[in-house]
Amino acid sequence: MKTRSTFFIVLLFVSLFWLNFAVAETIHIPVSRDLWVSSVAGEEEGNNGKASRLKLKSYQEFSIIDFDLAKLKGRNIDKATLHIKLVDNQRLRRVGVSTLSAEWVEGSGSSYTKEHGSSSFRWQKNPDTPWVAGLNYSDLTLVMFDAGGTFWSHAEASEPNDNWQTIDIAPRIIAARVAGISYGFVLFDDTGTELYRESESSDKTVFNNLPNRFFYSKDQNASVAPYLVVECSDAKPAKPPKPQKLKVETKDLPPGEAVISWEIPPLEKNDVLGFFVSANGKELQRSMIPVPDFSQREKLQTLTLRLRSPDLIGGDKVNAEVYAVNNIGEVSPPAKITFNVSDAVPSKLSGKIPQPFTIADDDMNQLPKLGKASISIIDELDKVTEKGKLLPPQSDSYFVANHLWKAGKTPQIRLAAARNEFIAFQIHMVGNANGVKPSIRWTKENNNTPTTSYYRFEYIETPIGKIADPMPPLEGKGLDVQERDTIYCEMFVPKDIQAGTHSGVLTLQSGSDSLEMAISLSVWNFTIPDRLGFLPEMNCYSLPSNERDYYRLAQLHRTYINRVPYSHRGTVDTNCAPVWNAGTKTFDWAAWDNRYAQYFDGSAFADLPRGAVPIEAFYLPLHENFPADIFKHYRSKNDGNDWADEVLGKEYAEEFKAGCREFAQHFKTKKWQDTCFHFYLNNKMNYKDDGWSRASSPWLLDEPASYRDFAALRYFGELFHEATASIETSICFRCDISRPQWQRNSLEGLMGVNVVGGDVFRRFNRLVNERKERNGEFMYTYGTTCRPEEGAVQPAAWSLYAWFNGADGIVPWQTIGTKESWKKSDELALFYPAREGTPPVVASQRLKSYRRGQQDVEYLLALQRKMNCPRWDVTQAVQKELGLSGTQHSQYAEDAGTLRFKDATPLKLWQLRMRVGNYVHNGNQ
């Protein structure tokens, strides 16, 4: 009996083994179409559908391939491997493979032919069908590698064998194509630039900068064309779970939009791969439809879809259906919901647009006189050349009558301000007058009336002649005017001033000559907050020894200094970090606290108008070489393919995390919670070009380019969060990203502060704002300040533009001038260092423009609070009136660039401010 039972058990095992063997299958599938595209300027509209090779070159060039996968329908995909044959000895290393959420046309182009109707990096169909409809700009990056409802994997390519290499692809990526939620496969060089030491004993560095990695396409010949090897097995059909708890939200959304959400059970209990969604019987574009988070398999997931369609207007009725699809292409029953999209009525700025003064023809030449000098009043954002030309250009009549003043028989200056606001105007003089001294008295002068400061201009050489920019205080004997000059008059309106109209007199004195002009100041009944609601960050990389003067001058201008305290070499600047004890893994804080505590508790600013408000943000000295020594711990593979999590071991990670914990715990103990401390990685591998030891970072940590750079940022971000997870801290992981379109989900949930480059902030605005909202990020945009000869309006206009487009602050990337800045135009000199006869640091007119822009955004924030409406509504109403659109000007690919606003004028900004101020004051639409 025992023998017979054993026989049947063995027979059953053998039968099951052969049954399983019989249903498993390995299938070879040849490529059916392929396309090489380029993101490089001048090539982005090019099609290479008939090229004999395909190319991977980091973010510059990559390829799309596809296969006929009909044989895989209804089967489990157990393993998938892509086979490619190299054209030359430049091998593939780590390769990323993504789903693609838009259809594409292979085309028959080569050498970047701009072929009509074919796909390119820029267009789904050249020359005008976008990859994503409804955006001002879209390209291929918005439908691949985590964007637009896609997902991806990457793997190391095998060692070449007769120039053949293989790349493993996650089975779900193949399954997505079979299931119909992908239209092909995007191949990407994730390694990018290869960097390694010539030898362990040498300091010489070998760079293989963005190598060209070629392999044959189907258009070479079948024997070398790519093919896919798939191991699959039969699957028992099983419908995926129907999406549950469909909900729709339209509150605070623009007209015609809605957010649809639904739930799916944990992925470990089902195999949901994606969804099909239709609205009123029409399938939505795939880039709008989310996919599950495959890294959170054990959790219940809520998916959200932002419905935006040109076919929908406010209040339209929608019948929506949501289907789940699984790994074998089975589709669930539909979850249905009927709703109306948002019927919000966008707000408008009502009331008359305030207009400049006008003046009678017979008064056009009646400028008031001080001795032999004619006097005019102009806006604080006007800039006058040495020859009397205004920037932006104005007619000569502007000097006689403008939005702030009118000349004639009874000259009049009109001003308006909120409480706790700085306002200013300029006194322009043409002719000769010695020792001009201005003063202002108020009819009811007391401790609650505005205080006034006066500044003279220094002129610097520019390509268009001498231009005023540095502004030392006007002191001593006053200003000697020869031919023409200008005095800048700055008022601070105190918090406790009474709302209403205040009358005063501006007196100009020159020897025995004097001139009086009436001032009318309207004070609105709201207050600009001491704490900044919009942050202009004055980034820099060093400061003179009198750094406290710089911090104070920045605070006075409603900005703040933020200094990177370490070098690309990996050395911390003198006394810019607490002393690290590697043995005990602790810091000695005494000297560091003595230097910086005054900025974190606000005591350095106690006597300034904003009071003891702590500095808004501050760079920490934490970086890849502090406190842990990256040179000591780095274990290179020496093949140019080093990934941070592979070459930095446990000992490095633990020491780095200990430093992060020390900072977090120290700030908690000190109760320094009002400053956002930035853990920011500024260093770049480019500096290793002069030798391995000449720079500490083997990756581009600032402005990452290749995906390997983003992965390094992810590594450090994860270490920081692991170290500080249990400590309530005001430290944020900050990254400066100039290529957010290549970021994927590498930094998802890690960044607290996201700083986005100027031009990509404009082009990929929806992308970065969706990430901001999803992750609760604080977002800045960065760039370069305009040059002195470009006027003074741009910084204020940039502030408004940034806020309109979702940013919470702006970062001019360098702000500290040098001795040379006093001699010739320097766009980076917002703060001029001391020279003979000046204070320890001198503000530029452009710095004051940043203050004007910051305060103007505070007006918009006050308007938003008053209207109790979402930001988009304020933006739409105000931006429509202002018509502010910037154009990016960059000199080279890595240039931060300068945004220029051709139509921005002091008058337009004044009109906006007046309308918003009046509304917030009066409270009526």
Instruction: List pLDDT tens digits, range 849-864.
Output: 999 999 999 999 999 9
Three-state DSSP class for residue 639: coil
Alpha-carbon gap, residue 696 to 716, rounded angstroms: 14
State pTM to two decimals. Answer: 0.94
DSSP label at 133? T
**834 burial level (CB within 10 Å; 0-12, 13-18, 19+):** middle
Please list the residues that pair with 231 across neighbouring strands: 26, 79
**Span 147-174, mean pLDDT?**
98
* Residue 691: how many other CB atoms lie within 10 Å: 13
Q: Check residue 15 and give its pLDDT.
A: 42
**Span 580-602, mean pLDDT?**
97
Please list the residues that pair with 832 across neighbouring strands: 842
Longest dimension (CA), the chain: 132
Between 104 and 359, the higher pLDDT residue:
104
* Token duo for residue 436: 């001009």
Alpha-carbon gap, residue 640 to 50, rounded angstroms: 32
SS3 helix, strand, coil % of the chain, rounded to 5? 25, 35, 45
Please list the residues that pair with 303 across neighbouring strands: 262
Peptide bond into 411 cis (omega under 30): no
Alpha-carbon gap, residue 293 to 633, rounded angstroms: 34
Alpha-carbon gap, residue 304 to 645, rounded angstroms: 32
Please list the residues that pair with 783 across neighbouring strands: 812
**123 burial level (CB within 10 Å; 0-12, 13-18, 19+):** buried
Judging by DSSP bridges, how do beta strands 390-391 and 383-384 pair with one another? Answer: antiparallel
- Is 11's pLDDT higher than 70? no
Tell me which of 411-425, 743-757, 880-894 is least confident: 880-894
List Cα–Cα distances, 246 to 271, 288, 320, 335, in angstroms: 20, 17, 10, 7
Alpha-carbon gap, residue 714 to 602, rounded angstroms: 33
* Residue 704: how many other CB atoms lie within 10 Å: 28
* Token duo for residue 634: 């780095």
Rg, C-alpha atoms of the chain: 32
For residue 484, name the pLDDT band (cuts at 50, 70, 90).
very high
List Cα–Cα distances, 58 to 179, 410, 643, 707, in angstroms: 29, 68, 15, 8
Angle, alpha carbons 180-184-188 (nearest 5°): 140
Place of tokens 């893994």: 585
Place of tokens 């010739």: 824
Residue whose C-alpha is closest to residue 845's, from 425, 403, 255: 425
Residue whose C-alpha is closest to residue 800's, from 875, 910, 868, 888: 875
- Is 237's pLDDT higher than 90? no
Q: Check residue 10 and give its pLDDT.
A: 41
For residue 888, name the pLDDT band (cuts at 50, 70, 90).
low
- Is 21's pLDDT higher than 70? no
Q: Check residue 380 and give its pLDDT.
A: 98
Alpha-carbon gap, residue 620 to 562, rounded angstroms: 10
Between 445 and 180, the higher pLDDT residue:
180
- Which residue type does 902 have? K
CA dihedral 897→901→902→907, nearest 10 degrees, is -150
Cα 294 off chain centre by: 27
What digits encode the pLDDT tens for the residues 297-340?
Answer: 999 999 999 999 989 999 999 999 999 999 999 999 999 999 99
* Token duo for residue 264: 């799916």
DSSP label at 378? E
Burial 287-297 (b: 16+ CB within 10 A, else e): bbbbbbeeeee
**867 burial level (CB within 10 Å; 0-12, 13-18, 19+):** middle
Alpha-carbon gap, residue 123 to 110, rounded angstroms: 16
Is residue 581 within 8 A of residue 589, CB to CB? The reply is no
Helix (H) or strand (E) segment spanning residue 694: none
Q: What percent of the chain has pLDDT over 70?
A: 95
Is residue 252 within 8 A of residue 302, CB to CB? The reply is no
Is residue 558 within 8 A of residue 610, CB to CB? The reply is yes
Is residue 564 within 8 A of residue 682, CB to CB? The reply is yes
List the beta strands (DSSP E) in 758-808.
778-783
What digits encode the pLDDT tens for the residues 354-383?
Answer: 999 988 765 667 899 999 999 999 999 999
**Span 504-508, mean pLDDT?**
97
What digits encode the pLDDT tens for the residues 724-772?
Answer: 999 999 999 999 999 999 999 999 999 999 999 878 999 999 999 999 9
Is residue 813 within 8 A of residue 896, CB to CB? The reply is yes
Q: Check residue 1 and give its pLDDT.
A: 43
Is residue 123 within 8 A of residue 45, CB to CB? The reply is yes
Sequence-distant (≥ 6) Cβ neighbours of residue 150 within 8 angstroms: 98, 99, 100, 101, 143, 144, 182, 291
List Cα–Cα distances, 196 to 28, 640, 641, 690, in angstroms: 37, 5, 8, 13
Place of tokens 């976008």: 130
Is residue 230 within 8 A of residue 174, CB to CB? The reply is yes
Q: Is 642 left (phi over 0), alpha (psi -120 to 50) or beta?
A: beta
For residue 903, name the pLDDT band (cuts at 50, 70, 90).
confident
* Token duo for residue 506: 């501006």
- Which residue type does 899 have? L
Is residue 129 within 8 A of residue 117, CB to CB? The reply is no
Between 878 and 571, the higher pLDDT residue:
571
Alpha-carbon gap, residue 733 to 664, rounded angstroms: 12
* Residue 725: how many other CB atoms lie within 10 Å: 10
Helix (H) or strand (E) segment spanning residue 525: strand 513-527
Q: Check residue 19 and give its pLDDT.
A: 41
* Token duo for residue 632: 């000591």
Alpha-carbon gap, residue 119 to 125, rounded angstroms: 5
**Span 274-295, mean pLDDT?**
97
Q: Check residue 884 and give its pLDDT.
A: 74
Three-state DSSP class for residue 189: strand
Question: In terms of DSSP H, where are the helices of 289-372?
Answer: none
Q: Check residue 447 and give its pLDDT.
A: 79
Peptide bond into 627 cis (omega under 30): yes
* Token duo for residue 696: 């500490």
Is residue 786 within 8 A of residue 762, CB to CB? The reply is no
- Is 402's pLDDT higher than 70? yes
* Residue 146: how many other CB atoms lie within 10 Å: 17
Cα 701 off chain centre by: 15
* Token duo for residue 644: 């941070």
Alpha-carbon gap, residue 338 to 714, rounded angstroms: 41
CA atoms within 13 A on the CB side of 345: 2
